[in-house]
Structure formats: structure tokens, C-alpha cells
């Protein structure tokens, strides 16, 4: 028979780095947008998601509601996912880009904790250690006055906004971790496109309601902001596509580790385009969070490899 064509070594990791770069660029453009609420930016992002996912739903004939027994899970996946997006966008707007990005990388650690609580998955002392590392990293970034004194340096704007952004980023991370737990519960019984569809539709409905309640709906006042909105939608979608392709051809462990390049890109873009240099506290917090995230990813990777070898035996 014909030989199977060998895949390009490292292609999955390259896709992961490209995905991290696109996500970081989208975050940078979000910082550049003026006078637009994070909820409205999220609404535009949901519109882009729907426009690109709809042809996939039609092509794969998945339907728009999904299996009856899974709809409640899909609803909460969409609800929590859209909350995570809005809160993350808010955090990007009111605190340094690198700080908010670092906090989001505590997601794998909190996912392990929630999976232990709700799915009864194994939670070892190593997982507890990684959780403590992640919490330490967040404290170094938040720098609460009762630990670091009343004069906190290296923040963007007022400390009140910095604290609000930190709380929003942590809440976003917990919401995102909850969606991963829900997706684990659903498993492969629901198509990936259907999961994104629920996320986009519920997110758009929720954002529209919130904008009318907050009376924050307005059109971008200049052409530049409109271009940035389009770029945020396209870059976010491109980042998701390349991350999905990476997971299709590469093991989840190396992909999770390589995703920490998002933090590196955030530091670089923040210094180059926003003229904000990270403090040593932020760098220390980033190292703690990246160490905990990589440690969690490596443990999950080794566990999956061990189970695969046991099945072969």
C-alpha cells in the first residue's frame, strides 16, 4: 500500500504559538479601543462567532439545539463562557494587559480543582501545590495594600480600577474553568461547532440585554475603533481555529505548555505599544502562574501517556 505521508514535526506547536500571538494582538486592539464598554465589544465578538460557525453547523448537520439530554449543559456552557468573555474584556480595559493575561493562565489549575469537586476526578498533593503557586502569583499581581502597603507602584490608572480588573479576571478564569468542566461532562457526544454556537448565541442575547439595562449601547465614534472591532473578531476566531488545529495534531500537554507564550507576547506588546514596563512583582507573579500551569499540564500529559500504555498492554 502507499505510505502514509509523515506530518511536519512541530507543526502543532507552531500553530499554538501562532494562536497565542493572535489572541495577544486581539487583546492589544481591545486596549486601543476608546469609549466602548466591554459588553459591547463582547457582543461584536459573538456576532463574528455566529457568522463563521453557522456554515459549519449546516455542513455537519448538527442542528441548532443539540441532543435533548445535553441541552442544559450546553446552555450553561454558553452562559458561563459568555460571562468569562465579558469579564476578561473588562479586565483588559482597566488593568495592564500582561497582568490580566497572567491571571487567565490560572485556568488549568482551577479546572483541576473544580473537576475534583464536581466530577470526582483525582486531585493530588501536587495539584494542591500548583493551586497555591497560582494563588501566590495572583496575589503578587493584585498587590493588596494590607500586604504591600498603601503606595502600590506599577499599576495602570487608579488602584481601585486595578483591583476591579483583578477581581474580574479571577471571576472570568473561574467561569472559563467551569465551562471546561461542563465540556468534560458532555464529552464527545456534542460537536465542537455546536458548543461554540451556544456560546455565541447566548453571549449575544445576554450582551444585548445588559447593554440596554446599562444604557451603554453606542456606535464607535471613529473609523479606527470600528476597524479594531473587526480585527478583534477576526483575530479571536483565528486564534481559536489554530488552537483547535494544534490540539488535533499534537498532544494536549505540549500545547498547554506552549500556550504560555501568550504571557510572553502580552509583556512584549504591552512594552512596545502601550509603553508600560512590567514590575518585578508582575514578573514574579507571572513565573508562579506559568510554573503552576506548566506543572498541571505536564502531570495531565504524563497521566494520559501512562493510561495509553496500560491500555496497550
Instruction: Tell me: pLDDT of 7 over 60.
Output: no
Q: Is the pLDDT of residue 44 over 90?
A: no
The answer to whether the Cα torsion of 43, 193, 245, 252 is positive or negative is positive
What mean pLDDT is predicted for residues 201-221?
Answer: 84
Q: What is the pLDDT of residue 202?
A: 92
Check pLDDT > 80 for residue 307: no
CB 15 within 8 A of CB 243: yes
The model's pTM is 0.82
Mean pLDDT over the full length of the chain: 81
Residue 157: what pLDDT? Answer: 66
Most confidently modeled of 48-57, 190-199, 245-254, 295-304?
A: 48-57
**What residues make up the domain containing 31?**
11-310
At residue 230, does pLDDT exceed 60?
A: yes
Please state, in angstroms and rounded to a whole number, the distance separating the CA atoms of residues 17 and 258. Answer: 7
Stretch 82-98: mean pLDDT: 88
Q: Which of 202, 206, 265, 241 is nearest to 27 (CA)?
A: 265
**Rounded-to-10 torsion of CA 168, 169, 174, 179:** 100
The pLDDT of residue 5? 44
- Of 241, 216, 240, 223, the C-alpha closest to 93 is 216
Q: Per-residue pLDDT tens for 157-182? A: 677 888 888 899 999 999 988 888 88
Does 51 have pLDDT greater than 60? Answer: yes
Kindly report which listed range (177-181, 279-283, 301-305) carries the lowest average pLDDT score.
Answer: 301-305
273 in any annotated domain: yes
- DSSP string computed for the chain: -PPPPPPPTTHHHHHHHHHHHHHHHHHHHHHH--S--HHHHHHHHHHHHHHHHHHHHHHHT--SS--GGGHHHHHHHHHHHHHHHHHHHHHHHHS-HHHHHHHHTTHHHHHHHHHHHHS-----HHHHHHHHHHHHHHHHHH--HHHH-S---S-SS-HHHHHHHHHHHHHHHHHHHHHHHHHHHHGGGS-HHHHHHHHHHHHHHHHHHHHHHHT-----SSHHHHHHHHHHHHHHHHHHHHHHHHHHHS-HHHHHHHTTHHHHHHHHHHHHHS--PPPHHHHHHHHHHHHHHHHHHHHHHHHHHHHHHHHH-
Nearest to 115 by CA among 296, 294, 309: 296
Find the mean pLDDT for residues 264-284: 85
Distances (CA, A) of 190 to 47, 62, 74, 247, 307: 22, 9, 9, 17, 24
Q: What's the CA angle centered on 33, arms 171 and 91, to 5 degrees?
A: 15
Say if residue 234's pLDDT is above 70.
yes
Domain count, the chain: 1
The confidence score (pLDDT) of residue 147 equals 60
Taking residues 144-168, report their average pLDDT. Answer: 73
Amino acid at each position: 500500500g502507499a505510505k502514509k505521508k509523515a506530518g511536519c514535526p512541530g507543526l502543532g506547536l507552531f500553530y499554538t504559538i501562532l494562536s497565542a500571538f493572535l489572541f495577544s494582538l486581539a487583546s492589544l486592539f481591545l486596549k486601543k479601543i476608546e469609549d466602548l464598554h466591554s459588553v459591547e465589544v463582547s457582543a461584536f465578538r459573538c456576532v463574528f462567532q455566529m457568522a463563521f460557525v453557522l456554515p459549519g453547523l449546516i455542513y455537519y448537520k448538527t442542528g441548532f439545539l443539540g441532543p435533548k439530554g445535553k441541552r442544559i449543559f450546553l446552555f450553561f456552557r454558553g452562559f458561563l463562557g459568555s460571562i468569562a468573555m465579558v469579564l476578561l474584556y473588562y479586565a483588559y480595559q482597566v488593568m495592564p494587559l500582561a497582568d490580566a493575561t497572567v491571571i487567565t493562565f490560572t485556568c488549568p489549575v482551577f479546572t483541576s480543582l473544580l473537576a475534583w469537586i464536581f466530577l470526582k476526578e483525582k486531585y493530588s498533593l501536587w495539584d494542591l501545590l500548583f493551586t497555591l503557586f497560582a494563588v501566590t502569583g495572583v496575589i503578587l499581581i493584585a498587590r493588596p495594600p494590607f500586604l504591600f502597603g498603601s503606595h502600590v507602584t506599577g499599576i495602570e490608572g487608579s488602584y481601585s480600577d486595578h483591583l476591579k480588573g483583578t477581581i474580574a479576571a479571577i471571576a472570568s478564569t473561574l467561569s472559563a474553568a467551569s465551562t471546561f468542566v461542563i465540556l468534560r461532562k458532555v464529552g464527545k457526544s456534542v460537536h465542537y461547532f455546536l458548543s461554540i454556537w451556544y456560546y455565541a448565541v447566548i453571549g449575544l442575547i445576554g450582551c444585548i440585554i445588559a447593554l440596554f439595562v446599562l444604557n451603554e449601547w453606542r456606535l464607535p465614534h471613529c473609523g479606527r475603533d470600528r476597524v479594531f472591532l473587526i480585527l478583534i473578531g477576526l483575530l479571536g476566531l483565528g486564534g481559536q481555529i489554530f488552537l483547535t488545529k494544534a490540539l488535533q495534531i499534537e498532544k494536549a500537554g505540549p500545547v498547554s505548555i506552549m500556550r504560555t507564550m501568550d504571557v510572553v507576547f502580552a509583556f512584549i506588546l504591552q512594552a512596545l505599544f502601550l509603553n508600560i514596563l512590567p514590575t518585578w512583582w508582575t514578573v514574579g507573579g507571572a513565573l508562579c502562574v506559568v510554573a503552576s500551569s506548566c506543572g498541571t499540564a505536564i502531570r495531565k500529559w504524563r497521566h494520559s501517556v501512562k493510561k495509553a500504555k496500560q491500555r496497550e498492554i
